[in-house]
């Protein structure tokens, strides 16, 4: 038995066989509903935006750094 065959046998014994089962439900309608949902802003998003504005007011030279990362 070659090393490749031995490795193949070891891998097959280590991982269980996957059954050919169908998905429990159709996920496409869930994706469509999420894409049509309104955007909800969290407090973290709002606070990060305010923090960026404050930093840019204090250090206007950092605007180039922000535009570079956008």
Q: Report which DSSP code applies to 21.
A: P
Residue spans per domain, the chain: 42-70
pLDDT at 45: 94
pLDDT tens digit sequence for 34-67: 889 898 899 999 999 999 999 999 999 988 988 8
The fraction of the chain above a pLDDT of 70, given in percent, is 97
Helix (H) or strand (E) holding 44: helix 43-58
- By three-state DSSP, how is residue 17 classified? coil
Q: Is 31 in contact with 38 (CB distance < 8 Å)?
A: no
Q: Is the pTM of this model over 0.85?
A: no
Rounded-to-10 torsion of CA 7, 9, 11, 12: 160
């Amino acid at each position: 038995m070659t090393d490749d065959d031995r490795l193949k046998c070891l891998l097959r014994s280590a991982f269980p066989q996957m059954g050919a089962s169908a998905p429990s439900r159709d996920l496409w309608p869930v994706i469509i509903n999420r894409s049509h949902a309104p955007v909800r802003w969290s407090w973290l998003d709002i606070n990060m935006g305010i923090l960026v504005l404050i930093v840019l007011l204090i250090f206007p030279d950092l605007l180039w750094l922000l535009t570079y990362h956008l």
